[in-house]
């Protein structure tokens, strides 16, 4: 446990555990380990900014020249002993008494990063194994960690049960066909398990098996035994898309609400979650957010009310702007136009044409050509959340069921059924919105997209 | 947000948010939604135990006979309005004023569970989509959710960054060969992306791609930029094993500690985590733990110190009992014998023969035939944690690197390298130990094992 900065100490003082932690932090600050992020040499002194990677702030180390060796360079790892004091500007600094270089870093030997340089994301993305050493990537990853924690806290405070929905599944929930299939790599395993009438795709599990595209159907099963549930985990699409908004592997938060009878109930839950996560992240990661979005371009809609438009209203608004909707729904450009129309507020589009949406969505009682579905649109990314009320009529669901393989899903409606609704939120897109990140590949440590899975 | 029980209310009173929540809870308790778990009929009254699935306790509803219809049965879902009062025994109960059956449950129509019956796990496992409606499974899943939350809290309190290590990878970290391979299901996608010299296995990502067996190597990369890191997520093995301790998909907690120079440092971190999680889970889920382990057979080693034995000491102890070790290491029976020898305390086995362990483990300075590795053994499951210090010498690691594909991993040692150590903990095995669960398939909602991936 290493804490290299004053701000972190301040944040701990707000914490109830401070009594125990305070002495630990002082000890750590007087003997920090970390990496040299910057060096400034004066006549008799060297000033080194050292970071342990746990927060955006660095600790300034004042090093008498006789204590420094040539291997004390930008990028090297160091272990330092000294005394804490205040700099002339009143900031905490450490006057070194001993400086040990643990790992050298010779830029000329192939280290791809340079001091006092902001490398563009396209460049650092070529060095996934090293890019968490840059200020920008480490700030994003700290924000991602904090957002994840705040999501867990939110659902715990609101009495949801966390369900680890499976990655491996024999369902293809969305029916889109853009799935990865899975089989053992070992020919020996396949041979040993081979049975009559089976092909290689189904020999291990007994049926063809895919990587999940959504945990919704599994959540719906558990929701009918345990009430409100959620899952946050990896999800997959085998699309041949290299856009700034798509990944082959991404994290999705999905929640299913028990006894949920109206879209407005669902919308309230989504708005409540997003505002909680935004406010908490600003509290815990202010310096990181400043580092990744210096001009504060990320939308500050925490205090605004989210807007609601029906699909038909959205169509009219776009029509007046000369942008007609097709059977494919609302495209990315149109999504961003609608957000702009709402002055940059997030906007729910509700009550979608039935034929555009999935079989499990509940028909609107007032118009059975529409379903009780919603998309939430935001600046930067457009859609970040999709959700719906679920069809709770056994007979109606039976008539729309796309495959006998989903008979288990139908059976959920047969015994002690309840009305439910739920939503899915793309974690990476949320981070794009929160941090003003143009390309989704910079919101996670090891992005996977077509032709890119090198580590 | 629905809370059906008194205990939950009590636990909220301990919470700082009580002021806001208290009125919500009272309102909810006077208008609960849930499932009928038990019915007792008297002359003029019906007593129904209703659960909303969010905790082990049920709320007793007192229903005047004229308010009840025939569809009010075991397993049905209900929405009730009434007044809270105290029963003659002093417990909270609800005197119903209105009873609405939302979903019927006709046992004769194929519902597999019966009232006042404890179904064996082998039976409920045949109904994965319905088994979260049983008391036993829902209790385990609540404990799993709580353990997960406590793990996140522990690492946040101790300033670790949560890293979502990827599921898709071109590495096979352990080199064991028991991996699943992945490719798009769509022949059209494969055809569209086909290039010369590529086979179907590598056309999408440009190289053959597997499901992860460990996030360790990825964590080590981030640890060298951001300090202490951890990941908790799904992990995969394509083994043909149907034992009570193996799954094809399971959750693994992995942590990597920066500036970690001794095994005892690593052991301390593991013991600290496990004791935190055990104590917190007992605080938050006492009733669930009682429900799954009535005779409290789960080991109560929270207050005991963990024992440490070297591999050589373990060999001598087993030798005296007539159980010789082979080159394969310590087998399951021998693991449990060692735990018994230590009076049921968890025991670390440290300093393993180099040839039994992975290439990335650090050689012991006093004996280069051994490595700085540890296994933690417990009752019920044997091994639950494996870990090691990592080889931090560039030259030594280079000589042991199993594949050029891992050159990125080697390069981590070239620039600003630090000593690190880490461990992996199987979440399902931890739950087996905590809840006294014999078969690992009962510790998660949707287990996957050979010939079983039906939903």
Q: How far apart are CA B186 and CA A267, in angstroms?
A: 35
Q: What is the pLDDT of residues B169-202, one digit of tens each?
A: 998 655 567 999 999 999 999 999 988 777 888 9
Give the residue from chain B lying closest to A454, CA to CA.
B170
- Point out the residue among A111, A152, A222 whose CB comes nearest to the CB of B152: A152
- Please answer yes or no on whether B33 and A77 come within 8 Å at the CB atom: no
The answer to whether the CB atoms of A164 and B234 lie below 8 A apart is yes
B46-73 pLDDT, tens digit per residue, is 999 999 999 998 999 999 999 999 999 9
Among left, alpha and beta (phi > 0; psi -120 to 50; other), residue A130 is alpha
Which residue, among B107, B136, B226, B280, would best test binding to A if mutated, counting the most A CBs under 10 Å from its CB? B226
Per-residue pLDDT of chain A (455 residues; tens, 9 = 90+): 233 344 454 444 445 454 444 555 566 677 899 999 999 999 999 999 999 999 998 999 999 999 999 999 999 999 999 999 888 888 889 999 999 999 999 988 999 999 989 999 999 999 999 999 999 999 999 999 999 999 999 999 999 999 999 999 998 655 567 999 999 999 999 999 988 777 888 999 999 999 999 999 999 999 999 999 999 999 999 999 889 999 999 999 999 999 999 999 999 999 999 999 999 999 999 999 999 998 776 667 788 899 999 999 999 999 999 999 988 899 999 999 999 999 999 999 999 999 999 999 999 999 999 999 999 999 999 999 999 999 999 999 999 999 889 999 999 999 999 999 999 999 999 999 999 999 999 999 999 999 999 89
Q: Is B245 exposed, middle or buried (0-12, 13-18, 19+ CB in 10 A)?
A: middle
Backbone angles phi, psi at A376, to 5 degrees: -105, 125
List the 237-266 stretch of A: residues with Cβ below 8 A of B. Answer: 238-240, 248-249, 251, 258-259
Regarding beta strands A161-162 and A229-236, do their DSSP bridges make them parallel or antiparallel, or are they unpaired? Answer: parallel
CA distance B132 to chain A (A): 5
Alpha-carbon distance B186 to nearest alpha carbon in chain A (angstroms)? 7
Which B residues 175-204 touch A at CB under 8 Å? 177-186, 189, 192-193, 204
Q: Which CATH class is domain A6-112?
A: mainly beta
B 355-414 residues inside an 8 A Cβ radius of A:
408-409, 411-414
Backbone angles phi, psi at A287, to 5 degrees: -70, -35
Distance from CA of A174 to the nearest CA of B (A): 14
Q: Where are the beta strands (DSSP E) in B311-450?
A: 347-353, 363-364, 367-378, 382-389, 420-426
Least CB–CB distance from B170: residue in A161, A169, A453: A453
Distance CA A382, CA B224 (A): 35
Whether the per-residue pLDDT at B295 is higher than 90: the answer is no
Dihedral angle of Cα B267, B273, B274, B276, to the nearest 10 degrees: 140
Q: Per the CB < 8 Å rule, is A159 touching B217?
A: no
B183 membership: H or E segment, kind and range: strand B180-184
For B312, the token pair is 């050589």
In angstroms, the CA B101 to CA B35 distance is: 10
Strands of B180-184's sheet in order across: A168-169, A210-211, A180-184, B180-184, B210-211, B168-169
Three-class secondary structure of residue B241 per DSSP: coil
Minimum distance, in Å, between the CA of residue A143 and any CA atom of chain B: 9
Contact B53, B8 (CB under 8 A): no
Pick the CATH number of B6-115 from 3.30.1330.10, 3.60.15.10, 2.40.50.140, 3.30.70.890: 2.40.50.140
Nearest CB to B75 within list A34, A208, A416: A416
Q: Do B166 and A251 touch (CB under 8 A)?
A: no
Chain B: give the shortest CA distance to residue A222, in Å.
Answer: 6
- CA A272 vs. chain centroid, Å, equals 17
> Which of B129, B168, B444 has the CB atom closest to A164's CB atom?
B444
Q: Which of A105, A106, A445 lies closest to B163 in CB terms?
A: A445
Q: Do B218 and A162 touch (CB under 8 A)?
A: no
Residue B11 pLDDT > 60, yes or no? no
Report how far residue B455's alpha carbon sits from residue B453's, in angstroms, rounded to the nearest whole number. Answer: 6
Residue B1's pLDDT is: 30
Cβ contacts of B419 on chain A, cutoff 8 Å:
102
Q: Return d(Cα A189, Cα A191) in angstroms, integer.
A: 5
This model of the complex carries an ipTM of 0.94
Place of tokens 């879209």: A263
Task: Write out chain A in H/E/C secondary structure.
Answer: CCCCCHHHHHHHHCCCCHHHHHHHHHHHHHCCEEEEEEEEECCCEEEEEEECCCCCCCEEEEEEHHHCCCCCCCCCEEEEEEEEEECCCCCEEEEEEEEEEEECCCHHHCCCCCCCCCCCHHHHHHHCCCHHHCHHHHHHHHHHHHHHHHHHHHHHHCCCEECCCCCEECCCCCCCCCCEEEEECCHHHHHHHCCCCCCCCCCCCCCCCEECCCCHHHHHHHHHHHCCEEEEEEEECCCCCCCCCCCCEEEEEEEEEECCCCHHHHHHHHHHHHHHHHHHHHHHCHHHHHHHCCCCCCCCCCCCCCEEEEHHHHHHHHHHCCCCCECCECCHHHHHHHHHHCCCCCEEEEEEEHHHCCCCECEECCEEEEEEEEEEEECCCEEEEEEEEECCCHHHHHHHCCCHHHHHHHHCCCCCCCCEEEEEEEHHHHHHHHHCCCCHHHCCCCCCECCECCC
pLDDT of residue B137: 97
- Option in A103, A183, A238 nearest B418 (CB): A103
Interchain contact A161–B (C-beta under 8 A): yes
Residue B332 token pair: 């399951």
Task: Give the pairing type, strands B363-364 and B367-378.
Answer: antiparallel
Question: What residues in A contact B35, CB-CB < 8 Å?
Answer: 225, 416
- Please report the pLDDT score of residue A10 as a whole number: 45
Number of Cβ within 10 Å of residue A415's Cβ equals 23
Inspect the interface and report whether the beta carbons of B105 and A207 lie closer than 8 Å.
no
What distance in Å separates the CA atoms of residue B2 and residue A185, rounded to the nearest whole number? 46
Tell me how far apart the 2 most distant CA atoms of chain B are, in Å: 84
Task: Please state the domain extents for chain B.
Answer: 6-115, 137-178+213-442
Number of H helices, E strands in chain B: 13, 17
Chain A residue closest in CA terms to B74:
A416
Task: From chain A, pick out residues whose CB is under 8 angstroms from the CB of B130.
Answer: 221, 225, 411-412, 415
Write out chain B residues lying below 8 Å of A208, CB-based: 185
Architecture of domain B137-178+213-442: 2-Layer Sandwich (3.30)
Contact B414 A258 (CB under 8 A): no
pLDDT in tens, B80-136: 999 998 888 888 899 999 999 999 999 889 999 999 899 999 999 999 999 999 999
Which residues of chain B neighbour A452 with C-beta distances below 8 Å?
205-206
User: Of B55, B103, B291, which to mutate for an interface test with A (greatest number of A Cβ within 10 Å)?
Assistant: B103
* Contact yes or no for B233 and A234 at CB 8 A: yes
* pLDDT at B263 > cutoff 90: yes
Q: Kind and range of the H or E element at B411?
A: helix B407-411
Is B110 within 8 Å of A183 when comparing Cβ atoms?
no
Encoding tokens for residue B179?
A: 């991996």
User: CB neighbours (10 Å) of residue B79?
Assistant: 16
Asked if the C-beta of B165 comes within 8 angstroms of chain A's C-beta atoms, the answer is yes
| Distance in angstroms (rounded) separating the CA atoms of residues B114 and B136 | 14
Mean pLDDT value of segment B411-425: 98
Pairing, β A77-86 against β A33-41: antiparallel
Q: Which long-range contacts (C-beta less than 8 Å, at least 24 apart) are formed by B332-339? A: B332/B245, B332/B382, B335/B377, B335/B382, B335/B383, B336/B377, B336/B379, B336/B382, B338/B309, B338/B314, B338/B377, B339/B377, B339/B378, B339/B379, B339/B382
| Three-state secondary structure call for residue B386 | strand
Q: Which residues of A263-298 are buried (b: 16+ CB within 10 A; e: fewer)?
A: beebbebbbebbbbbbebbeebbeebbebbbeeeeb
Q: Using CA atoms, how far apart are residues A253 and A270, in angstroms rounded to an integer? A: 11
What's phi and psi for B171, nearest 5 deg? -90, 155
Those of residues 4-43 in A touching chain B at CB distance below 8 A are: 8, 17, 33-36
- Which of the four pLDDT bands, split at 50, 70 and 90, describes residue B16? very low
The verdict on a CB contact (< 8 Å) between A159 and B128 is no
| Residues in B touching A145 (Cβ below 8 Å) | 161-163
Tokens read off for A188: 């020996």
Q: Do B445 and A165 touch (CB under 8 A)?
A: yes
Three-class DSSP category at B388: strand
Nearest residue, CB atoms, B105 vs list A130, A249, A416: A416
**What does the mean pLDDT of chain B come to?**
91
**Cα separation, A64 vs B452, whole angstroms:** 66
What pLDDT score does B86 carry? 87
What's the pLDDT at A18? 47
Asked if the C-beta of A235 comes within 8 angstroms of chain B's C-beta atoms, the answer is: no
- Lowest pLDDT segment from A12-16, A351-355, B210-214, B447-451: A12-16
Task: State the residue for tokens 């009928």.
Answer: B36
B416 pLDDT above the threshold of 60: yes
Chain centroid, CA A57 distance in Å? 23
A42 by Cβ neighbours in 10 Å (0-12 / 13-18 / 19+) ranks as exposed
- Spell out which residues of chain B touch residue A209, defining contact as CB-CB under 8 Å: 453
User: In sequence order, what are the residues at sequence separation of 6 or more whose Cβ sits closer than 8 angstroms to the Cβ of residue B279?
Assistant: B302
Distance to chain B for A310, nearest Cα, Å: 27
């Amino acid at each position: 446990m290493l804490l290299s900065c004053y701000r972190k100490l301040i944040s701990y003082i707000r914490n109830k555990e401070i009594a125990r932690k305070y002495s630990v932090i002082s000890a750590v600050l007087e003997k920090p380990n970390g990496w040299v992020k910057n060096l400034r040499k004066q006549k008799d002194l060297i000033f080194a900014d050292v970071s342990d990677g746990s927060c955006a702030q660095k600790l300034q180390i004042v090093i008498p020249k006789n204590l420094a060796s040539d291997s004390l360079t930008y990028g090297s790892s160091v272990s330092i002993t000294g005394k804490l004091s205040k700099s002339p500007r009143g900031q905490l600094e450490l006057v070194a008494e001993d400086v040990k270089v643990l790992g050298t870093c010779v830029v000329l030997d192939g280290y791809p990063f340079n001091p006092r340089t902001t490398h563009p994301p396209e460049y650092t993305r070529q060095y996934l194994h090293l890019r968490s050493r840059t200020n920008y990537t480490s700030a994003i990853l700290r924000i991602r960690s904090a957002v994840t924690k705040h999501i867990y806290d939110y659902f715990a405070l609101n009495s949801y049960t966390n369900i680890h929905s499976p990655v491996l599944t024999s369902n293809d929930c969305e029916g889109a066909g853009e799935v990865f299939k899975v089989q053992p790599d070992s020919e020996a395993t396949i041979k040993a398990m081979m049975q009559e009438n089976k092909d290689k795709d189904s020999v291990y599990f007994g049926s063809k098996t895919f990587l999940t595209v959504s945990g919704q159907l599994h959540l719906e099963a558990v929701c009918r035994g345990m009430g409100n549930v959620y899952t946050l985990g990896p999800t997959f699409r085998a699309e041949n898309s290299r856009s700034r908004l798509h990944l082959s592997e991404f994290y999705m938060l999905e929640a299913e609400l028990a006894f949920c009878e109206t879209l407005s109930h669902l919308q309230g839950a989504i708005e409540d979650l997003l505002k909680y996560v935004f406010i908490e992240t600003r509290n815990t990661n202010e310096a990181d957010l400043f580092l990744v979005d210096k001009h504060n371009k990320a939308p500050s809609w925490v205090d605004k009310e989210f807007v609601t438009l029906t699909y038909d209203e959205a169509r009219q608004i776009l029509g007046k702007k000369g942008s007609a909707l097709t059977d494919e729904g609302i495209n990315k450009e149109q999504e961003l136009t609608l957000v702009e129309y709402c002055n940059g507020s997030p906007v729910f589009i509700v009550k979608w044409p039935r034929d555009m949406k999935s079989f499990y969505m509940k028909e609107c009682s007032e118009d059975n050509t529409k379903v009780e579905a919603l998309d939430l649109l935001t600046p930067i990314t457009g859609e970040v959340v999709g959700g719906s009320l679920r069809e709770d009529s056994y007979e109606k669901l039976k008539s729309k069921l796309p495959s006998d393989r989903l008979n288990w899903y139908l059976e959920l409606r047969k015994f002690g059924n309840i009305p439910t609704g739920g939503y899915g939120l793309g974690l990476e897109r949320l981070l794009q919105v929160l941090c003003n990140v143009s390309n989704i590949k910079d919101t996670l440590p090891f992005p996977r997209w077509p032709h890119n899975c090198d580590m």
